[in-house]
């Protein structure tokens, strides 16, 4: 597998290393590997189960990608759009240029234009061998994006990345983001696939923020109901830099996602806010790491989950404070709302603290809709189903309200409301909560 | 079963009645012979020998746990699995390490008790106290003896419950204990009896109670109440490097069992303990668990809430000094509806000490209307200290209220400054803050234990224990 037009030598070498690492690592096991203990359908990830991508990159966008492109996240503020599927980058409409410095480039174009920049980032932030699926992405990625903002730049608007997979194939988008000192950027990523398509989307995102840089990163996963998602987002956050990640997980048959932030610079800040709505037999397994390497950094994580019908959520979040990372302030909160008697939520927020002058806290809750709240609504003439829906909306509201950038916030709210609408249609919100 | 026992008998070369001979022969390491030897010395019934041998098989087949604390320092072949009474008697007060003697002095424990705690005395004086307590209990029909006596004198009750809460194949160390267990307490409280004074293993005296593999079995019949207190509030002098106990509690409907233990092992001991309780309808089980000392402790008292309306509580405190790893925690499994539980864990790490809270909270699908709250607080006193929190929560029911909270922090500079500005030294001030931090735990202890725990913490703060 190579980039269109061939791999540069360093990338070919990286791919070889990754292939060796992929072959060497044993296939994960849900009994042996803590990572996979609560997600047992690992065998469905076998690459042999998926169709080889076609080599034809021409023609019109597949309808599901066109739909995403024209969706609520489109707006006049978009400075660039990059689209990829299993075949690699696809022709996107010409981005409205935001200035002289090209910020966003297709993977192959970006790697060719600034080899020195990307060689020190690709496979470094997310090294092959860390996990089998990072290795495989490194071996096989053909499309994605290179986003580089030069020192002190703050390009107007935001960059849109749409990564999809179709035809029962595997998509390996690779996104590389580098912000030089004092630079800022907002990136909106969408992970999509057609309904009923049994594909696998396995994106890897590598981020490096230099001193004082600021990245806002939204991820909206709205894959089709048969697709499997296996993703990694990994970032190095430098001195006084800040990283805002907001993820919304709504689609896919099941998803295993890693969000890993290394606080390498003193005084760096990270905010991770996520939400997830599960229905049918959906399974979401989200794993987060806030690794405090440098002192004086702050990281906050807020993850809200509503599981309906037979869906299941698994969350594992580690705050690790390395030796010497004094004055760390780290927080994790995971709240789970159980909307059906057969939905499941596992929560495992963990702490590993090797420094003493720290403030590290986590909280986790699981519960159903509060009867008092329901009673309050019903006593005001709101029907039970409507009341339940309002309460679920309210449950997500404070996470969504904190989303930066107005139109992105409202678009995200729209996706969540759509999800709740679908739940209401299937009767999941009306289901009786009382037991015998 | 009979065949196995007979075969072993045939090969058994030494007369177990000959104390001297036995002492001379005793070997390090674990084998079917050693296990059979223990069983014969105790004149156990064949079923127990079979139980032990099966457990030995489980122990051999099980891999070492790959999670939790570092256990690579354990050499199973370099351990005496049965402390021979003769050797025990042979020890003298002079052999007790200086540090431990000093601790006894500073704790203000009477001479006779010190010798008992150190395992060097026959505890003549304590015998009297023990007898007076026992007579009271006997009138109520309460059985309180060591587990070996329980097996010998109350076989029907013993066999009915022994190994039912923690089967030998539960985990590697439960298997080890099941193979070589000796001593520990057997408590049986008849229906409706409330034992108003705490039963203290302190007074239950025989040399085997100091064994490294004690086994405790507590049965509280319907509507009864018992508070069992175990362990030493001073360091146990131990030659051996491995302590692996099993504690089983069965709380029948409407009963209430409270189990309090404070363990302060010397710093060369691997303390790997399995503790589990079964709580039936509307019963209450409480574990009050204090862990000081030891090199490594892995201990997760658990409660299976099997009956509707049962309630479980685990209140624990762990203190890890230099080079120590306290991997403690709690497990509560909500099987029945309308069950409730509370877990409060406090841990303190000092020097290069490491404390870990490892919990498991599970709610089964049919267990509706479950409420549970888990709170873990950790205090880090030094730069090299480490604290981990691993609270697993599996919720498979909708109608639940589950909350978990954990904090890790250091001693507040303002608190220290406040105390120091009033002329209290930094060490004393820190000890006071630590004592305040673990206060929710201490207030659940009987007065004498609370006082001793406070003194022990103060000693730990000076780094002068062990």
Measured between beta carbons, which residues in chain A are less than 8 angstroms from residue B400? 338, 366-368
What is the pTM for the complete model shown?
Answer: 0.82
Q: Which among A40, A348, A359 is the top mutation candidate for probing chain B, defined by the most B β-carbons within 10 Å of its own β-carbon?
A: A348
Look at residue B371 in the predicted model and tell me its pLDDT: 94
Between strands B386-395 and A344-353, the pairing is: antiparallel
- The overall average pLDDT reported for chain A is 90
Look at residue A73 in the predicted model and tell me its pLDDT: 85
CA A89, CA A87: separation in Å to the nearest integer? 7
Measured between beta carbons, which residues in chain A are less than 8 angstroms from residue B393? 346-348, 364, 366
Say if A140 falls within a structural domain: yes
Mean per-residue pLDDT for A100-123?
88
Look at residue B317 in the predicted model and tell me its pLDDT: 92
For residue range B358-392, what is the model confidence (pLDDT) as tens digits?
Answer: 999 999 988 989 999 999 999 998 888 999 999 88
Distance, CA of A314 to chain centre: 15
- Band of the pLDDT at B450, cuts 50, 70, 90? confident
Look at residue A310 in the predicted model and tell me its pLDDT: 92
Measured between beta carbons, which residues in chain B are less than 8 angstroms from residue A359? 407-409
Look at residue A277 in the predicted model and tell me its pLDDT: 94
Mean per-residue pLDDT for A351-355?
91
Mean per-residue pLDDT for A151-161?
92
Look at residue A172 in the predicted model and tell me its pLDDT: 96
Nearest CA-CA distance, residue A263 and chain B, Å: 19
Contact A435 B390 (CB under 8 A): no
- Counted domains in chain A: 1
* Cβ within 8 Å of B, A 305-344: 323-324, 326, 336, 338-344
If you measure CA to CA, which chain B residue comes closest to A357? B410
Say if B111 falls within a structural domain: yes
Structure tokens belonging to residue A380: 């005001």
Q: Does B394 touch chain A (CB under 8 A)?
A: yes
- Band of the pLDDT at B455, cuts 50, 70, 90? confident
- Choose among B381, B395, B409: nearest Cβ to A366: B395
Residue B55 has pLDDT above 90, yes or no: yes
Nearest CA-CA distance, residue B310 and chain A, Å: 19
Look at residue B26 in the predicted model and tell me its pLDDT: 41
Measured between beta carbons, which residues in chain B are less than 8 angstroms from residue A354? 384, 386
Same domain assignment for residues B129 and B228: yes
Mean per-residue pLDDT for B50-54?
95
- Choose among B378, B395, B401: nearest Cβ to A344: B395
Same domain assignment for residues B302 and B384: yes
pLDDT, greater one: B396 or B446: B396
Q: Does A368 touch chain B (CB under 8 A)?
A: yes
Angle between helix axes A384-401 and A406-425 (nearest 10 degrees) is 150
Nearest CA-CA distance, residue A30 and chain B, Å: 15
CA A48, CA A44: separation in Å to the nearest integer? 9
Say if A137 falls within a structural domain: yes
Same domain assignment for residues B331 and B348: yes
Nearest CA-CA distance, residue A230 and chain B, Å: 22
- Band of the pLDDT at A124, cuts 50, 70, 90? very high
- Band of the pLDDT at B97, cuts 50, 70, 90? low
Say if B5 falls within a structural domain: no
- Choose among A34, A348, A356: nearest Cβ to B381: A356
Look at residue A92 in the predicted model and tell me its pLDDT: 64
Say if B408 falls within a structural domain: yes
- Choose among A344, A355, A365: nearest Cβ to B403: A365
Residue B203 has pLDDT above 60, yes or no: no
Domain that holds residue B264: 86-413
For residue range A418-430, what is the model confidence (pLDDT) as tens digits?
Answer: 888 888 888 888 7
Q: Does B340 touch chain A (CB under 8 A)?
A: no
Nearest CA-CA distance, residue A87 and chain B, Å: 40
Mean per-residue pLDDT for B138-167?
91
CB-based contact B195:B221 (threshold 8 Å): no
Q: Does B412 touch chain A (CB under 8 A)?
A: no
If you measure CA to CA, which chain B residue comes closest to A345? B395
> Picking from A393-402, B135-144, B268-277, which range would have the lowest pLDDT averaged per residue?
B135-144
If you measure CA to CA, which chain A residue comes closest to B370? A367
Structure tokens belonging to residue A306: 């509503």
- Counted domains in chain B: 2
Same domain assignment for residues B442 and B409: no
Say if B303 falls within a structural domain: yes
What is the full DSSP assignment across A82-94?
Answer: EEEETTEEE--PP
Report the alpha-carbon angle A274-A279-A281, nearest 5. Answer: 115
pLDDT, greater one: A47 or A210: A210
Q: How many CB atoms lie within 10 A of CB A324?
A: 13
- Choose among A353, A357, A364: nearest Cβ to B393: A364
Contact A346 B395 (CB under 8 A): yes
Say if B304 falls within a structural domain: yes
Same domain assignment for residues B434 and B319: no
Q: Which among B343, B387, B398 is the top mutation candidate for probing chain A, defined by the most A β-carbons within 10 Å of its own β-carbon?
A: B398
Picking from B413, B429, B457, the residue at the C-terminal end of a domain is: B413
From the number of C-beta atoms within 10 Å of its C-beta (0-12, 13-18, 19+), residue A6 rates as: exposed
Same domain assignment for residues B193 and B296: yes
Residue B238 has pLDDT above 70, yes or no: no
Contact A435 B381 (CB under 8 A): no
Mean per-residue pLDDT for B65-86?
72
If you measure CA to CA, which chain B residue comes closest to A309? B398
Q: Residue B215's beta-bridge partner residues?
A: B246
- Choose among A348, A353, A435: nearest Cβ to B392: A348
What is the full DSSP assignment across B354-381?
Answer: EEEEEEEEEE-TT--SEEEEEEEEEEE-
Look at residue B392 in the predicted model and tell me its pLDDT: 87
Say if A129 falls within a structural domain: yes
- The overall average pLDDT reported for chain B is 79
Same domain assignment for residues B301 and B218: yes
* Cβ within 8 Å of B, A 242-271: none
- Choose among A338, A348, A353: nearest Cβ to B391: A348
Query: What is chain A's Cα-based Rg?
Result: 21
Which residues lie closer than 8 Å to A120 by C-beta, 6 or more apart? none
For residue range B339-362, what is the model confidence (pLDDT) as tens digits?
Answer: 999 999 999 999 999 999 999 999
* Cβ within 8 Å of B, A 388-417: none
Residue B93 has pLDDT above 70, yes or no: no
Look at residue A74 in the predicted model and tell me its pLDDT: 83
- Band of the pLDDT at A269, cuts 50, 70, 90? very high
Say if B49 falls within a structural domain: no
Q: How many CB pairs under 8 A join A and B?
A: 121
Say if B61 falls within a structural domain: no
Contact B386 A352 (CB under 8 A): yes
pLDDT-above-90 percentage for chain B: 40
Look at residue A270 in the predicted model and tell me its pLDDT: 97
If you measure CA to CA, which chain A residue comes closest to B382? A356
Same domain assignment for residues B427 and B402: no
If you measure CA to CA, which chain A residue comes closest to B381? A356
Distance, CA of B164 to chain centre: 18
3-state class (DSSP) for residue A331: strand
Say if A83 falls within a structural domain: yes
Half-sphere exposure for A229 (CA within 13 Å, toward CB): 35
Cα–Cα separations (whole angstroms), residue A116 to A13, A105, A126, A137, B330 = 15, 15, 17, 21, 52
Say if B99 falls within a structural domain: yes
Distance, CA of B199 to chain centre: 15
pLDDT, greater one: B416 or A433: B416
Measured between beta carbons, which residues in chain A are less than 8 angstroms from residue B67? 34
Q: Does B4 touch chain A (CB under 8 A)?
A: no
Contact A351 B383 (CB under 8 A): no
Q: Residue B288's beta-bridge partner residues?
A: B260, B315
Q: Residue B216: in which H helix or E strand, if any?
A: strand B215-220
For residue range B161-198, what is the model confidence (pLDDT) as tens digits?
Answer: 999 999 999 999 999 999 998 878 899 999 999 988 78
Mean per-residue pLDDT for B436-441?
88
Contact B387 A344 (CB under 8 A): no
Residue B429 has pLDDT above 50, yes or no: yes
pLDDT, greater one: B268 or B160: B160
Angle between helix axes B426-437 and B413-420 (nearest 10 degrees) is 130
For residue range A331-347, what is the model confidence (pLDDT) as tens digits?
Answer: 999 999 999 888 999 99
Mean per-residue pLDDT for B34-53?
91
Q: Residue B420: in which H helix or E strand, if any?
A: helix B413-420
Q: Residue B26: in which H helix or E strand, if any?
A: none
Look at residue A151 in the predicted model and tell me its pLDDT: 94
Same domain assignment for residues B331 and B319: yes
> Picking from A132-136, B103-107, B279-283, which range would have the lowest pLDDT averaged per residue?
B103-107
Q: What are phi and psi of B184, to 5 degrees?
A: 90, 180
The closest alpha carbon to A188, from A397, A411, A417, A416, belongs to A411
Measured between beta carbons, which residues in chain B are less than 8 angstroms from residue A391? none
Q: Does A365 touch chain B (CB under 8 A)?
A: yes
> Picking from A71-75, A114-118, B101-105, B268-272, which range would have the lowest pLDDT averaged per residue?
B101-105
- Choose among B349, B365, B388: nearest Cβ to A342: B365
Measured between beta carbons, which residues in chain A are less than 8 angstroms from residue B378? 351, 353
CB-based contact B312:B332 (threshold 8 Å): yes
Same domain assignment for residues B325 and B438: no
Instruction: Report yes or no for ipTM above 0.85.
Output: no
CB-based contact A160:A147 (threshold 8 Å): no
Which residues lie closer than 8 Å to A297 by C-beta, 6 or more apart? A237, A263, A265, A266, A267, A268, A269, A270, A325, A328, A329
Picking from B379, B397, B413, the residue at the C-terminal end of a domain is: B413
Domain that holds residue A111: 9-265
Same domain assignment for residues B146 and B185: yes
Q: Does B154 touch chain A (CB under 8 A)?
A: no
- Band of the pLDDT at B130, cuts 50, 70, 90? very low
- Dihedral sign computed on CA atoms, order B443, B449, B450, B454: negative
Same domain assignment for residues B171 and B184: yes
- Band of the pLDDT at B254, cuts 50, 70, 90? very high
Nearest CA-CA distance, residue A92 and chain B, Å: 45
CA B34, CA B44: separation in Å to the nearest integer? 14
């Amino acid at each position: 597998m190579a980039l269109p037009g061939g791999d540069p030598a360093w990338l070919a070498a990286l791919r070889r290393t990754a292939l060796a690492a992929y072959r060497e690592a044993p296939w994960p096991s849900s009994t042996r590997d803590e990572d996979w203990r609560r997600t047992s359908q690992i065998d469905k990830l076998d690459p042999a189960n998926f169709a080889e991508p076609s080599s034809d990159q021409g023609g019109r966008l597949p309808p599901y990608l066109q739909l995403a492109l024209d969706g609520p996240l489109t707006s006049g503020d978009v400075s660039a759009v990059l689209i990829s599927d299993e075949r690699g980058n696809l022709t996107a409409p010409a981005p409205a240029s935001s200035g002289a410095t090209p910020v966003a480039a297709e993977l192959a174009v970006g790697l060719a234009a600034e080899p020195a920049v990307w060689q020190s980032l690709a496979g470094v932030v997310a090294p092959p061998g860390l996990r089998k699926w990072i290795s495989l992405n490194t071996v096989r990625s053909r499309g994605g994006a290179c986003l580089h903002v030069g020192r002190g730049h703050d390009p107007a608007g935001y960059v849109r990345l749409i990564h999809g997979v179709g035809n029962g194939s595997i998509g390996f988008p690779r996104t590389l983001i580098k912000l030089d000192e004092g630079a800022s950027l907002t990136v909106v990523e969408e992970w999509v696939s057609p309904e009923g398509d049994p594909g696998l989307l396995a994106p890897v995102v590598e981020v490096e923020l230099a001193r004082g840089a600021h990245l806002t990163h939204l991820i909206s996963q709205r894959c089709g109901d048969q697709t499997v998602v296996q993703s990694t987002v990994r970032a190095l956050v430098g001195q006084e830099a800040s990283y805002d990640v907001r993820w919304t997980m709504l689609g896919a048959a099941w998803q295993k996602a890693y969000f890993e932030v290394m606080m390498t610079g003193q005084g760096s800040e990270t905010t991770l806010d996520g939400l997830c709505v599960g229905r049918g037999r959906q399974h979401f397994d989200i794993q987060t790491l806030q690794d405090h390497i440098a002192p004086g950094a702050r990281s906050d994580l807020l993850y809200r989950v509503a599981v309906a019908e037979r869906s299941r959520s698994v969350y594992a979040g580690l705050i690790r404070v390395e030796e010497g990372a004094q004055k760390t302030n780290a927080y994790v909160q995971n709240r789970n709302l159980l909307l059906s008697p057969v939905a499941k939520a596992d929560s495992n927020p963990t702490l590993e603290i090797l420094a003493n002058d720290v403030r590290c806290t986590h909280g986790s809750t699981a519960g159903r809709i509060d009867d008092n709240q329901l009673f309050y609504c019903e006593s005001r003439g709101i029907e039970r189903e409507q009341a339940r829906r309002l309460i679920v909306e309210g449950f997500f509201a404070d996470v969504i309200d904190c989303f930066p950038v107005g139109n992105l916030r409202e678009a995200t709210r729209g996706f969540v409301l759509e999800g709740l609408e679908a739940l209401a249609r299937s009767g999941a919100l009306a289901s009786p909560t009382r037991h015998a | 079963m009979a065949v196995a026992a007979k075969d072993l008998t045939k090969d058994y070369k030494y007369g177990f009645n000959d104390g001297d001979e036995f002492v001379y022969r005793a070997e390090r390491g674990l084998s079917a012979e050693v296990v059979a030897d223990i069983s014969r010395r105790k004149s156990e019934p064949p079923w127990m020998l079979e139980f032990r041998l099966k457990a030995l098989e489980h122990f051999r087949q099980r891999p070492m746990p790959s999670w939790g604390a570092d256990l690579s320092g354990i050499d199973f072949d370099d351990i005496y699995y049965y402390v021979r009474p003769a050797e025990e008697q042979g020890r003298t007060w002079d052999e007790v390490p200086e540090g431990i003697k000093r601790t006894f002095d500073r704790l203000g424990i009477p001479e006779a008790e010190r010798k008992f705690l150190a395992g060097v005395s026959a505890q003549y004086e304590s015998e009297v106290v023990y007898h007076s307590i026992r007579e009271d209990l006997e009138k109520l029909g309460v059985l309180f003896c060591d587990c070996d006596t329980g097996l010998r004198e109350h076989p029907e009750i013993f066999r009915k419950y022994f190994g039912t809460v923690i089967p030998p194949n539960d985990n590697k160390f439960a298997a080890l204990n099941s193979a070589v267990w000796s001593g520990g307490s057997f408590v049986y409280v008849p229906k409706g009896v409330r034992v108003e004074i705490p039963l203290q293993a302190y007074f239950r005296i025989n040399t085997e109670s100091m064994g490294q593999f004690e086994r405790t079995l507590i049965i509280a019949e319907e509507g009864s109440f018992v508070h069992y207190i175990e362990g030493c509030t001073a360091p146990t002098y131990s030659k051996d490097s491995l302590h692996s106990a099993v504690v089983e509690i069965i709380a029948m409907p409407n009963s209430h069992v409270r189990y309090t233990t404070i363990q302060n092992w010397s710093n060369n001991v691997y303390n790997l303990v399995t503790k589990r309780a079964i709580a039936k309808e509307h019963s209450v089980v409480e574990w009050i668990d204090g862990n000081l000392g030891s090199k490594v402790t892995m201990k997760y008292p658990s409660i299976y809430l099997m009956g509707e309306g049962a309630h479980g509580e685990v209140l624990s405190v762990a203190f890890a000094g230099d080079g120590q790893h306290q991997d403690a925690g709690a497990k509560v499994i909500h099987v029945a509806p309308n069950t409730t539980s509370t877990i409060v864990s406090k841990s303190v790490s000092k020097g290069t000490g490491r404390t870990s809270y490892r919990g498991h909270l599970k709610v089964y699908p049919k267990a509706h209307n479950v409420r549970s709250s888990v709170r873990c607080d950790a205090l880090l006193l030094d730069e090299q200290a480490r604290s981990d929190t691993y609270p697993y929560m599996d919720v498979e029911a909708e109608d639940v209220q589950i909350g978990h909270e954990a904090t890790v922090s250091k001693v507040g500079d303002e608190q220290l400054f406040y105390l120091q500005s009033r002329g209290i030294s930094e060490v004393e001030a820190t000890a006071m803050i630590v004592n305040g931090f673990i206060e929710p735990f201490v207030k659940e202890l009987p007065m004498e234990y609370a006082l001793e725990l406070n003194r022990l913490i103060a000693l730990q703060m000076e780094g002068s224990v062990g």
